[in-house]
């Protein structure tokens, strides 16, 4: 798979851990994050990864900040992105099966490197189930387009 990864200053070490881990599995991982420890702004990297995924050049995106929260909220502001912040693999699995998440976000202050490995394994290897879940994803797209559901 081609994977876009991005992070703020808090996520640098976990980013490199995941890059190496995924490259060992034969994935192509492109770094859109910062490599500097100096404080910076996570929406910048959320936008880069979101747009990389939407370009169609990447199969999935991975984002890392301190909690995973800020960077996921920022990514979800980009039309077409469904970014799920996950701290364990069950949520990662369901984010794919039910929500067709195209980016996963993790918190470098919340989880360790082995948990992050399990989360990305599940995220990258689980398919969307479609069916009734597609209806709900379509409703989210409608909301994104300013439509009312009721
Ligand atoms: C940076 O201090 C921190 O706010 C950021 O990494 C992230 O946790 C925001 O949600």
pLDDT tens for 90-101 read 999 999 999 999
Query: Per-residue pLDDT averaged across 13-23, rounded?
Result: 98
Residue with token string 């199969």: 59
Q: What is the mean pLDDT of residues 118-146?
A: 98
Cα distance between the two ends of the chain: 39
pLDDT band at 86 (very low <50, low <70, confident <90, very high): very high
- Look at residue 32 in the predicted model and tell me its pLDDT: 99
Mean pLDDT of 31-56: 98
- Confidence (pLDDT) at 1: 98
Q: Confidence band (pLDDT; 50, 70, 90) for 20?
A: very high
Determine the pLDDT at residue 101: 99
Q: For residue 80, give both structure tokens.
A: 């077409």
| Arithmetic mean of pLDDT, 79-92 | 98
**Atom 8, ligand 1: residue with shortest CA distance:** 66
Q: Pocket around ligand 1: residues whose beta carbon is below 6 Å from it?
A: 8, 10, 42, 65-67, 69-70
Q: Mean pLDDT, to the nearest integer, of 108-114?
A: 98
CB atoms within 10 A of CB 61: 28
d(CA 145, CA 127): 25
H or E segment at 37?
A: none
The atom number, within ligand 1, closest to the CA of 65 reads 6
Q: Ligand 1: distance of its center to the CA of 71 in Å? A: 8
What is the per-residue pLDDT for 39?
A: 98
CB 83 within 8 A of CB 63: yes
Report helix angle 113-124 to 89-97, nearest 10: 20
Mean local confidence (pLDDT), 73-98: 98
Which of 6, 7, 8, when mutated, tests ligand 1's pocket best, judged by the most ligand atoms within 8 Å of its CB? Answer: 8
Would you state the pLDDT for residue 81? Answer: 98
């Amino acid at each position: 798979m081609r994977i876009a990864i991005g992070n703020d200053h808090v996520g640098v070490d976990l980013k490199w851990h995941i890059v190496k881990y995924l490259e060992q599995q034969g994935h192509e991982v492109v770094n859109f994050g910062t490599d500097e420890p100096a404080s910076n702004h996570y929406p910048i990297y959320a936008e880069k990864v979101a747009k990389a995924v939407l370009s169609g050049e990447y199969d999935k995106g991975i984002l890392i900040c301190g909690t995973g929260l800020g960077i996921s909220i920022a990514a979800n502001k980009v039309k077409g992105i469904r970014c799920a912040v996950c701290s364990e693999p069950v949520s990662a699995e369901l984010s794919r099966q039910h929500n067709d998440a195209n980016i996963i976000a993790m918190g470098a202050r919340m989880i360790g490197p082995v948990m992050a490995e399990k989360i990305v394994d599940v995220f990258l290897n689980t398919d969307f189930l479609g069916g009734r879940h597609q209806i709900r994803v379509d409703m989210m797209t409608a909301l994104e387009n300013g439509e009312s559901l009721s």
